[in-house]
């Protein structure tokens, strides 16, 4: 799915695992981070918490909303339940990067 985002005008950078993804996210200057809730050897919400401590980048979590998530360090800016269409992901990224698109027309 991420491979299709350039077709919507986004540059995409990926990482093969959670530790390298966190390192890239902290070293890079990203408009948004797309994070899977299930990662090999790592809980996506723990990675989100680590990211929140050091990065202002908004995060889209690929999973359904988790009830009772009161800790803002473990709450993404947006959820996208699987399965999803590429255009749904592109729309979520666009809304985070340019919130004016979410405003109702006057």
The answer to the question of residue 87 being in a domain is yes
Query: What is the pLDDT at residue 29?
Result: 84
Q: Is the CB of residue 23 less than 8 Å from the CB of residue 51? A: no
Query: What is the pLDDT at residue 44?
Result: 84
Q: Convert the pLDDT of each residue in 78-101 to its tens digit.
A: 889 888 898 999 999 999 888 776
* CATH assignment at residue 74: 3.40.50.2300
Tokens standing for residue 40? 């090999």
The answer to the question of residue 101 being in a domain is no
Query: What is the pLDDT at residue 102?
Result: 57
- pLDDT bin (cut points 50, 70, 90) of residue 33 is very high
The answer to the question of residue 106 being in a domain is no
Q: Which domain holds residue 16?
A: 2-95
Q: Over the chain, what is the mean pLDDT?
A: 83
Total structural domains in the chain?
1
Other Cβ atoms less than 10 A from the Cβ of 57: the count is 17
The answer to the question of residue 91 being in a domain is yes
- Strand pairing of 59-62 and 42-43? unpaired
The answer to the question of residue 60 being in a domain is yes
The answer to the question of residue 16 being in a domain is yes
Closest CA to 34 of 66, 75, 78: 78
Q: What is the DSSP secondary-structure string of 53-92?
A: HH----EEEESPPPTT---GGG--SEE-PSS--HHHHHHH
Cα(48)–Cα(103) distance, integer angstroms: 27
The answer to the question of residue 103 being in a domain is no
Determine the angle formed by the axes of helices 18-27 and 44-54, rounding to 10 degrees.
20
The answer to the question of residue 11 being in a domain is yes
């Amino acid at each position: 799915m991420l491979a299709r985002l350039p077709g919507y005008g986004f540059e995409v950078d990926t990482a093969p695992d959670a530790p390298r993804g966190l390192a890239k996210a902290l070293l890079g200057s990203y408009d948004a981070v797309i994070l899977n809730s299930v990662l090999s050897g790592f809980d996506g919400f723990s990675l989100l918490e680590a990211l929140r401590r050091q990065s202002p980048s908004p995060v889209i979590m690929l999973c359904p909303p988790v009830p009772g998530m009161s800790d803002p360090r473990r709450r993404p800016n947006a959820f996208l339940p699987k399965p999803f269409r590429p255009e749904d992901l592109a729309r979520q990224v666009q809304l985070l990067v340019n919130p004016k698109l979410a405003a109702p027309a006057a």
